[in-house]
Amino acid sequence: YIVAYRLQTESIIKKTESANFPTRYGHMKIHHYQSELDTLEWIAITAGDITNQLAPLVRLHSQCLTSDVFHSKRCDCGEQLEMSMQWIAKEGGILLYLPQEGRNIGLLNKIKSYALQDIGLDTVEANHRLGFKADEREYFIPAQILKDLGIQRVRLMTNNVNKVSELKKYDIEVVERIPLIVEPNQDNIFYLKTKQNKLGHELNL
C-alpha cells in the first residue's frame, strides 16, 4: 500500500543524462532514466518539440532482444519498433524503450517459454507453466517518465488496448490509439492469434 501510494503521489524516477541521437530515421535525442525501485535502465527517445504538441505520438516498446536486435520472426516486436521510430522521426514524438524482456519475465524465461511453445503450448500457456502471469508488465515508471517530459496527453501507438487503461491509471490520457499492424509470417501467426484471442490485442486476424 505504501508503494502504491507513492506511485500515485511522488516521482520515483530521475533523468540521469541526455544526448543528441542521430539515427537512420532522423535526428533525435536519447534520455536515460533510473528509478528508486530498481537498478534497471529506462530509455526515452524523443524527436521534435514534444512539449508544443497537444498529444504527441508515443510508443511504449518493451525490450525484445530476440527481435529488435537479432530479427527473430517469432514475434512482431522488431518490425513494430522500426515502424514507430519512422513515424516518430517524421511527426515528432516519444519512444520509451522499457526493460521488460518477454513481457517482463526476463530473457532466460523467455527462451524457456520458446522451448515450451516448440512443443505445442501457446505463449500464455507457456508463461503459466513457468509460474508467471500472462503479462507481468507494469506501466507506472513509463507514466512517470512521460510526466517528467511534460506529457499528460498522448496518441499511443499500440495494438494492446490494456496499455491505454494502464496509462489512464497513472493520469496519462490517451486521446487516440494508433495500431501498429505487421504482416504475419508462418513463424509468428500462431503467436499473434494468441495475443489477439487471449491478451486482447486488436490485430484483425
Domain CATH number, residue 146 = 3.40.50.10990
pLDDT digits (tens, 9 = 90+) for 64-120: 999 999 999 999 999 999 999 999 999 999 999 999 999 999 999 999 999 999 999
Q: What are the grid coordinates assigned to 58, written together?
A: 508515443
pLDDT at residue 37, rounded to an integer: 87
Q: Is the pLDDT of residue 9 over 80?
A: no
* Residue 118 annotated as catalytic: no
Instruction: Write the CB contacts of 4 (distance below 8 Å, at least 6 apart in sequence).
Output: none
What's the mean per-residue pLDDT of the chain? 95
pLDDT at residue 1, rounded to an integer: 47
Confidence of residue 160 (pLDDT cuts 50, 70, 90): very high
> Which domain, by its residues, includes 71?
14-100+137-198
pLDDT digits (tens, 9 = 90+) for 126-142: 999 999 999 999 999 99
Residue 83 lies in a domain: yes
Residue 36 lies in a domain: yes
Q: Residue 35: which of 11, 59, 4, 19 has the closest Cα?
A: 11
Instruction: Write the CB contacts of 169 (distance below 8 Å, at least 6 apart in sequence).
Output: 139, 140, 143
Helix then strand count (H, E) for the chain reads 8, 7
pLDDT at residue 4, rounded to an integer: 58
Confidence of residue 205 (pLDDT cuts 50, 70, 90): confident
Confidence of residue 52 (pLDDT cuts 50, 70, 90): confident
Beta bridge partners of 20: 29
Residue 108 lies in a domain: no
Q: Residue 150: which of 2, 3, 11, 20 has the closest Cα?
A: 11
Q: Is the pLDDT of residue 151 over 70?
A: yes
Q: Is the pLDDT of residue 2 over 60?
A: no
Overall number of domains in the chain: 1
Q: Is the pLDDT of residue 8 over 70?
A: no
- The mean pLDDT of 38-63, rounded to a whole number, is 96
Q: Which of 135, 148, 155, 171 is catalytic?
A: 135
Residue 149 lies in a domain: yes
* Residue 135 annotated as catalytic: yes
Q: Is the pLDDT of residue 27 over 70?
A: yes
Q: Which of 68, 76, 103, 137 is catalytic?
A: 137
Residue 162 lies in a domain: yes
Residue 34 lies in a domain: yes
Residue 192 lies in a domain: yes
